[in-house]
Structure 1
């Protein structure tokens, strides 16, 4: 805190941290800092000092203050920030520019995801920083609208190689939670020495040192309290503090102090100040219009400036938020509501629908259907701008002002849905629990059930997750005959939930789900074909299910990309059932690209998990790892702890310790994610195969095969057959191979035929095995199942060596090792090299590193992903959009990649890497 004519006192360490942040930004290494502290602790003074230092150093400062009246106005703070950077809007990619314009009400288009708005802000700041370093200073962030907080948090987490520093000050922990991932600077009270120094500057008279020390101690070193409160303490009060050991309740004392200053003025001034305190935006035009509504003359504004309390410059500013609160709280409830009514009327005259609704809601003393309707309209305006957080808050207030009944319940559920969209799970839970299921109408009850399911999934609530299929079917029953579209969508969610929980499902059966899907398909509608196909997967013998499943798969793949991105689980499941590897991969890539372009990070997160599993089961390990890296990037962008992102099957394929993979798998089982549990067990079985522990592999895979689950288990048949054939369980191997033959005959898919031929080769006599291996390789060469192809070459090479065709075996094994390395299946390479050594042709040097793994081993996951995208031909701007980075950060990563690989061009990069990135 500063006193008149003095510099900042007692904040040397804090100034050093801010100075380092600003210095790094000037040198092209951007970053962010979140300053947290109690009211009056000196946050604003510290930001003012940093801003002054930035200007002195030649940086441009962009200032943004939070106002309570804007806290429910969607993207209000982003709008003000963009206004100061508007000259750079034209340089943004079209989707980002459109997102910014729609969010700020300056353009038309689909509602943007708040993270896409954040990416646009990152681009604007980065572009501005190209001209000269930019320092963004955000004060009172606890009053910013939540959508803007999320966008700024995104920017703060992604600043890297930009000449941009972002300093945010707030006092509420809720802001800190939403800004997870940003470095924090807690601001505590001044120490005794600094407190005495500041107190000495602030007081006009001499104070006994012991009394001064007591004031410093009692106020906890709060600078605002030291300056404002101590000056008003009487001699006896100082004496009491000198011998006491209690703390002064700073907030209440300061508010009383400011209220006493205000009470010294007449009613006209007090009303003007109340209007300013009630509005909080400082909009003098609005406050003047509201005063006119109350019959106040223009002379009031000339007397409203109270030294040390309120100033006009040219907006209305209070000395501190506590001063504003004191002036507001000093008025009666009647007067406060009267002020808000006047402000609502003024906002209406100015054409500000959202502000009018907000003030009208504060003027209401109880339920008011008309005001609630206006708030609901404002919420829909927020939805059009992609401001789900603001929509949730406005709808919640609208519900509070709605008389008890179906309309209030529906608004609370709508608010819960919006809150869940932005990850406000606790708000969503409170809202949905406020609607009693036993009295709600069926549609509202069903919507509430779907929200509860999503909360369960989000929170990994194992006890409830296992019962989600039954829960969603019950919700579909509520929608039946009332909302057919909701019924169909909910049943598709129920199928996805069944895939998620797998064998841990409780409360219903797969058969019951299948019959419910089939019944919904009978009712017709756009989703009837998809529902019929999903029902067939559950209910029908495989050969009979292929045709309806294929029709459903084709119908999904024909959906527009914007719809497809929400259907990833169904696409993956039907593609796996049909063994349609190529079409499935293309559809998931389309879905991922659509979600990426929309900035829908939560959808991207789900799609990346789904695609990772799909690639492990029928693609390449390398692509599976790439999708897992995308999950890490997305989680970091959303502010989650990416260190907690663990993918058990990918870990097993990458050679992680079995105990660690087992622990992760057990954790998934405990939380109800049965699908992850099954994949983890399968991947450990594959790991046993890679190590030549065939009996262990058989023992691990047998429980999965003996209790098959939908489309997943048949994809594991080839591994089971290899384990069974190599461990002497030939009857089991023949039985499952026959099942694969039936599927291959029914679906006609090259992938299925290829692995079936491989299984036949493992069981065939030597005079027939070769033909089966050749048929397997021919079929798999027409797929994207790169790992299966590489493993087939390995098995073929092993067979060739055992039949004493050593030269052919050596050639085949060299190819197998190269392919295994190229697709990321490194756990099988030692087995291949050992076989190659047994041919007498040598091992390690024979194959050499091919593909991405060996040459880029020193790179970080993000560098690896950037390198692959660049090798695939993507520009820096395209890579930045895919990974939610700025082009400057992409350029930085590429320069590091070039340096580490000893290359100087993208052409050379392409020679080092095989571009497999979607």
Structure 2
């Protein structure tokens, strides 16, 4: 109950903290506070006191109810209903997502984070009119989707006049939110509350002290047990050996047993209908021949208040009543409530009560739970779908139907990142009860979860396991077979040289066979991937190009289901523009769909690809975006480390090597290779050519497709400069063959640069100039700058210092712009050797900007509106404006146009 009867005792500090959160919201800075504590600690009373009599503040409520804990987005729905007037301010996709999630319209199931962005937009719009205080009591009973949405909103609120106050037992699956743990009252406050709670208002101090000790300072226990304890004289008594919650339940149960029989029966029905809907209680009571006014004595006794809803004095009262019911009577009541819910069209409540009325198994109820799970899935409630299907499986008789529901539940849990729950569900499967497709799905789900859970054995065996799954689909489900084969290739990339259970050749032949099972884009993808693995390069190029072309033809709505196979092919073709374009398109589609997990994957891959094409500054920006995204999703951002970026940025070698070595026992051979490649580039930049050669040689000798292709130009430079000319010449010839077959400006420029390093003086200059020309037509800034650098070095050795300065100046400026300090120092040293010194340029315009401010500034300078920037970064337009004003002050500008002039050129 939330009525404030008297000032709270002993909670001054807690009230101040809640008040500070509300005051900050009034002043335009949003805040969240999760009040946690055991039953009876006064969470509800504290929220009521903090929000009582707040002038010019709008209060929104959306409390949790046990009966709605599997109703996807039920808690969100209550908030959306209160903010209906603000929905016109939302972008169409967000408005549609909220409508589908809350069941008010049909449409594609929305991602829960898109729903979160929609709710964030509603709150921000409403807060422009008036300060909002959003109160959520019993948050532990909210459905999982609503909890995730509220946690997302809490993490993205910043510059809105919104305070989000929650109360829950435990953490309530709301990680990362600022919290306030309620402990028992101190002795002085406890004694005062005991005085207040007994007739006459005074308790002997010794008795009060013993009462405080006996109750642990629990406010509810002090209020409700003090009369009993004071009357019994507990001086010197030890605290109760049973938990205070159990003691309170016994106390309430004794009160209930003193009520008339019809009243006890009415209370039992009200306790079983946890949403507190009076009409449902009334209908169920009628079905059970309980008088309509039977609950009045319970209200007189102060155990409940019956108004718009039926509200128990405390959840422990409800628990005491419900827990005392014999099993048959409890099931009878739930059956009556199921009938009442059906009569009112409350289908989710109906099936919840029907399930509670079952003894053993009941296929009919299980089927209804399955239908409710399907409805939850159609609204985007995959977590609720998983829980409903799990319960349906528990009510299913042993057999194929039971295991089919467990498998569906496991896939739904996996889709929302509940990996451990998914694995637990898979462990309950009986493989003999699954058909071939079911067995393949189970294998594939486990294999794809292995990377998410960083399971070393699963990572290195992932490709082999997915090939097993594809074999189960063969001849039965060709679309699923082809999709699984593409995933089998993709999961080979993280494991790379650690891959077990299958060779690359075996993988290639299986991909080729899979291309023939059905026509379409996936068939083209499989042909391109198998050609990449099996055929000589010049023969593979047409098939790889055809596979890449299919990506451009795939509609946006289907793009995220295609995967990321195109990265391998575009890198193999040295087609950096296609690679970046495809990944940026995937990131855009993921943003628009609110699919933060797919956006996370796209941005992370962009950070890796930017290093391959030679733009460490861009790679660093993507790393920061991934970190920001992880914070939005509630994951630790500090774990986001691109080891190769650290190498480019100048981190200590020992740190980089230690991180890389730790990746090997985890099964991430591909990440180890990326780190070693980054260190080899650093070696070359710093003139440690022999170290670079020795680092690259073992990787070159155990090639892994396009990953090795990207190492070859560095291997040529390291080999030439360390005296391994024969190895350099052989590799340069290989690059020349790639250039003739692929023909992109990038590989043509790299092949020419590599050949120039080996050429005699009378041929070298033309090759250096050709390299600069070709690379100038590519989107590979580091390789272009390196071409200017090595040409400038060659010119200086040829005593052409004036000509050398021209190219070395270009190299210094380019390396500083892309934030490649080791190469910048090398180029500056060479430039100094020509008799000229240019100090490092630095980026003073952005040095004081935080990563989020820098991202917002770049987007604003590019012409994006606050709403567009907010949608891209999953924050509100108000928060964008807040950061943009700080950017303007720091940079001394007054307009977006001026931003473009002072920000460093990308």
Normalising by the residue count of structure 1, what TM-score does the alignment of the two structures yield? 0.96
- d(CA) in 2 for partners of 1:791, 1:567: 35
Superposition RMSD in Å: 1.8
Equivalent pair of 2:215/2:239 in contact (CA under 8 Å): no
1:67 aligns with 2:65: yes
- d(CA) in 2 for partners of 1:348, 1:826: 69
Aligned pairs for 1:475-554 (under 5 A) are: 475-526=469-520, 527-554=522-549
Query: How far 1:41 moved relative to its partner?
Result: 0.7
- d(CA) in 2 for partners of 1:246, 1:352: 43
1:294 aligns with 2:292: no
Relative to 1, partners in 2 of residues 1:293 and 1:914: Cα closer, same or farther, differing over 3 Å? Answer: farther
* Alignment correspondent of 2:853: 863
* Deviation larger for 136-145 or 812-821: 812-821
- d(CA) in 1 for partners of 2:594, 2:883: 22
- d(CA) in 1 for partners of 2:339, 2:240: 47
Query: What are the Cα deviations for residues 818-854 of structure 1, in whole angstroms up to 9, with x where unaligned?
Result: 2222233333111111111111122216xx35xxx45
* Alignment correspondent of 1:168: 166
Equivalenced residue count is 904
The DSSP-based 3-state class of the residue aligned with 1:719 is: helix
Equivalent pair of 1:2/1:198 in contact (CA under 8 Å): no
Query: How far 1:778 moved relative to its partner?
Result: 1.7
1:115 aligns with 2:110: no
Query: How far 1:464 moved relative to its partner?
Result: 2.4
- d(CA) in 1 for partners of 2:478, 2:3: 67
1:233 aligns with 2:226: no
1:203 aligns with 2:198: yes
Query: How far 1:516 moved relative to its partner?
Result: 1.3
Equivalent pair of 1:813/1:835 in contact (CA under 8 Å): yes
* Alignment correspondent of 1:153: 151
Indicate which of 447, 469, 480 corresponds to 1:453.
447
Equivalent pair of 1:796/1:812 in contact (CA under 8 Å): yes
Indicate which of 345, 348, 356 corresponds to 2:350.
356
The DSSP-based 3-state class of the residue aligned with 2:376 is: helix
Equivalent pair of 2:348/2:372 in contact (CA under 8 Å): yes
1:427 aligns with 2:411: no
Query: How far 1:690 moved relative to its partner?
Result: 1.4
Relative to 1, partners in 2 of residues 1:715 and 1:867: Cα closer, same or farther, differing over 3 Å? Answer: same
Query: What are the Cα deviations for residues 413-462 of structure 1, in whole angstroms up to 9, with x where unaligned?
Result: 11111112222222212111111335533222221222212321111111
- d(CA) in 2 for partners of 1:2, 1:909: 51
Equivalent pair of 1:37/1:171 in contact (CA under 8 Å): yes
Query: How far 1:375 moved relative to its partner?
Result: 0.9
* Alignment correspondent of 1:25: 25
Equivalent pair of 2:97/2:118 in contact (CA under 8 Å): yes
1:261 aligns with 2:255: yes
The DSSP-based 3-state class of the residue aligned with 1:314 is: coil
Query: How far 1:379 moved relative to its partner?
Result: 0.8
- d(CA) in 2 for partners of 1:57, 1:790: 63
Aligned pairs for 1:770-789 (under 5 A) are: 770-789=765-784
Query: How far 1:702 moved relative to its partner?
Result: 1.3
- d(CA) in 2 for partners of 1:678, 1:563: 32
- d(CA) in 2 for partners of 1:591, 1:3: 51
- d(CA) in 1 for partners of 2:640, 2:733: 39
- d(CA) in 2 for partners of 1:98, 1:788: 46
Indicate which of 433, 436, 442 corresponds to 2:436.
442
Aligned pairs for 1:292-331 (under 5 A) are: 292-300=286-294, 302-303=296-297, 305-331=299-325
Relative to 1, partners in 2 of residues 1:64 and 1:120: Cα closer, same or farther, differing over 3 Å? Answer: same
Relative to 1, partners in 2 of residues 1:515 and 1:120: Cα closer, same or farther, differing over 3 Å? Answer: same
Equivalent pair of 2:745/2:774 in contact (CA under 8 Å): yes
* Alignment correspondent of 2:879: 889
Query: What are the Cα deviations for residues 367-389 of structure 1, in whole angstroms up to 9, with x where unaligned?
Result: 11111111111111111111111
1:13 aligns with 2:49: no
Where do 5+ consecutive residues of structure 2 fail to align? Answer: none
* Alignment correspondent of 2:359: 365
- d(CA) in 1 for partners of 2:132, 2:191: 36
1:406 aligns with 2:400: yes
Equivalent pair of 1:344/1:355 in contact (CA under 8 Å): yes
Query: How far 1:568 moved relative to its partner?
Result: 4.7
Query: What are the Cα deviations for residues 10-41 of structure 1, in whole angstroms up to 9, with x where unaligned?
Result: 11221121122112111111121111110111
Query: What are the Cα deviations for residues 52-92 of structure 1, in whole angstroms up to 9, with x where unaligned?
Result: 1xx43532211221111111111000000111111111111
* Alignment correspondent of 1:913: 903
Query: What are the Cα deviations for residues 692-741 of structure 1, in whole angstroms up to 9, with x where unaligned?
Result: 11111111111111111011110111111111112221111111111111
The DSSP-based 3-state class of the residue aligned with 1:311 is: strand
Equivalent pair of 2:207/2:230 in contact (CA under 8 Å): no
The DSSP-based 3-state class of the residue aligned with 2:236 is: helix
Query: What are the Cα deviations for residues 220-270 of structure 1, in whole angstroms up to 9, with x where unaligned?
Result: 11111111123233744x43x623255552111111222222222333322
- d(CA) in 1 for partners of 2:28, 2:109: 33
Equivalent pair of 1:181/1:641 in contact (CA under 8 Å): no
- d(CA) in 2 for partners of 1:755, 1:871: 33
Equivalent pair of 2:111/2:380 in contact (CA under 8 Å): yes
* Alignment correspondent of 1:559: 554
Equivalent pair of 1:446/1:476 in contact (CA under 8 Å): yes
Query: How far 1:116 moved relative to its partner?
Result: 1.0
Indicate which of 610, 615, 635 corresponds to 2:605.
610
1:415 aligns with 2:405: no
Query: What are the Cα deviations for residues 801-821 of structure 1, in whole angstroms up to 9, with x where unaligned?
Result: 222222222121111222222
1:333 aligns with 2:330: no
The DSSP-based 3-state class of the residue aligned with 2:325 is: coil
Query: How far 1:791 moved relative to its partner?
Result: 1.9
Equivalent pair of 1:393/1:415 in contact (CA under 8 Å): yes
Aligned pairs for 1:711-726 (under 5 A) are: 711-726=706-721
- d(CA) in 1 for partners of 2:689, 2:429: 55
Equivalent pair of 2:608/2:642 in contact (CA under 8 Å): no
- d(CA) in 1 for partners of 2:503, 2:527: 18
Indicate which of 652, 655, 661 corresponds to 1:657.
652
* Deviation larger for 67-76 or 345-354: 345-354
* Alignment correspondent of 1:91: 89
1:669 aligns with 2:664: yes
Query: What are the Cα deviations for residues 627-668 of structure 1, in whole angstroms up to 9, with x where unaligned?
Result: 211110110001011112111111111111111212221222
* Deviation larger for 512-521 or 591-600: 512-521
- d(CA) in 1 for partners of 2:526, 2:287: 59
* Deviation larger for 822-831 or 11-20: 822-831
The DSSP-based 3-state class of the residue aligned with 1:773 is: helix
Query: How far 1:544 moved relative to its partner?
Result: 1.6
Equivalent pair of 1:3/1:198 in contact (CA under 8 Å): no
Query: How far 1:304 moved relative to its partner?
Result: 5.2
- d(CA) in 2 for partners of 1:446, 1:487: 9
Equivalent pair of 2:135/2:166 in contact (CA under 8 Å): yes
Indicate which of 256, 271, 275 corresponds to 2:265.
271
- d(CA) in 1 for partners of 2:652, 2:552: 38
* Alignment correspondent of 1:218: 214
* Alignment correspondent of 1:80: 78
* Deviation larger for 380-389 or 663-672: 663-672
* Alignment correspondent of 1:465: 459
- d(CA) in 1 for partners of 2:554, 2:394: 39
Query: What are the Cα deviations for residues 560-583 of structure 1, in whole angstroms up to 9, with x where unaligned?
Result: 223323445312111111111111
Relative to 1, partners in 2 of residues 1:583 and 1:5: Cα closer, same or farther, differing over 3 Å? Answer: closer
The DSSP-based 3-state class of the residue aligned with 2:564 is: helix
* Alignment correspondent of 1:819: 814
Query: How far 1:510 moved relative to its partner?
Result: 1.3
* Alignment correspondent of 2:129: 131
- d(CA) in 2 for partners of 1:369, 1:514: 45
- d(CA) in 1 for partners of 2:241, 2:62: 33
Normalising by the residue count of structure 2, what TM-score does the alignment of the two structures yield? 0.97
Equivalent pair of 1:76/1:148 in contact (CA under 8 Å): yes
Query: How far 1:619 moved relative to its partner?
Result: 4.9
- d(CA) in 2 for partners of 1:801, 1:837: 11
Where do 5+ consecutive residues of structure 1 fail to align? Answer: none
* Alignment correspondent of 2:382: 388
